[in-house]
Amino acid sequence: MSQTTLNHDLLLERLSTCKALVADAATHLLDPQGRDLAAQIQWWKLPGLGAEWPVAVVGAGPPVLLLHGFDSSFLEFRRLAPLLAPHCQLFIPDLYGFGFCPRPAPPAANPEAVLRHLGSLVSTIGERTPGPLGLIGASMGGSVAVELARRCPQRIDRLLLLAPAGLTGNPMPLPPVLDGLGVKFLALPWVRKGLCRSAFANPDQDVGEAELQIASGHLQAPGWAETLATFARSGGFAGCGNPLPDQPIAVLWGANDRILRAPQKRAAQALLGERIRELQNCGHLPHIDQPQTVAETWIPCQSV
């Protein structure tokens, strides 16, 4: 049996496990909004890509693509989706190499692979739902959104960036050994808890078992560690904001953001200028801390 066949069989085996994890999430997550969103996952075959890929499809109306952040999943949008769904048809994928996506072996996770996956997804959405596509990106997903908007100028008509990370600076690839150690560190339960708490404006009030369960559920996906290490070696998304794409851009970020450091915020502010609206009592996840404000920003002329 050839190595290619073995790799394909492994990918299909991993896909089966990922499907089972999402099905379990739809039944057993403590967060009811998380359960509801997991139940909306469809598994799409995308042109040029093997296997099937998870996409939550919710609502009706103009199409909107939502992109989650680093080492996260589609579940990040569990509080925003119900507010937008009456007005838009939402497409919420897991980014390539993240969330509950099937991971190929050997791993091939890097910015170009992420964008290739999204380009195929955008084409498929266009076949199903013609017309302009809105784009909402959170944290690293904000940088991904900017890159994608530049590549699809005729398809994407506007962007909303939520605490965007990576628009400025330079890629900093982690060397071998350090990338693996970093991933092992990220997998430690007390580290996951600390990262989860740091993303919220009021962690003592808002972070409990339900939030921690969602923050760590995708770590069970086969290949999570080696794929994340490969992405870290690539340098990830950084410095992709300049020049900004031509589409209209709005930006929301939190005054209590403990993920974006002050120098990162200053550099992003110099790039984005008056597009930014800072939210009080809000951390790194405006779509979690203040989903109503995010929804009203996207749909300003309707009651959300």
CATH architecture of 3-298: 3-Layer(aba) Sandwich (3.40)
Query: In this structure, are residues 170 and 238 in contact, taking their beta carbons and an 8 Å threshold?
Result: yes
User: Token pair for residue 172?
Assistant: 């900093």
Walk along the chain (304 residues) and give the pLDDT tens digit of each residue: 455 555 778 888 999 999 999 999 999 999 999 999 999 999 999 998 888 999 999 999 999 999 999 999 999 999 999 999 999 999 999 999 999 999 988 888 899 999 999 999 999 999 999 889 999 999 999 999 999 999 999 999 999 999 999 999 888 777 776 677 788 888 999 999 999 999 999 999 999 999 999 999 999 999 999 999 999 999 999 988 889 999 999 999 999 999 998 999 999 999 999 999 999 999 999 999 999 999 999 997 655 6
For the chain, the structural domain boundaries read 3-298
Q: What angle do CA 178, 183, 188 make, to 5 degrees?
A: 125
Measure the CA–CA gap between 223 and 14, rounded to whole angstroms. Answer: 8
Please report, for residues 36, 70, 98, 178, 195, the alpha-carbon distance to residue 215 in angstroms, rounded to integers and kept in the order given. 16, 11, 12, 23, 9
pTM: 0.95
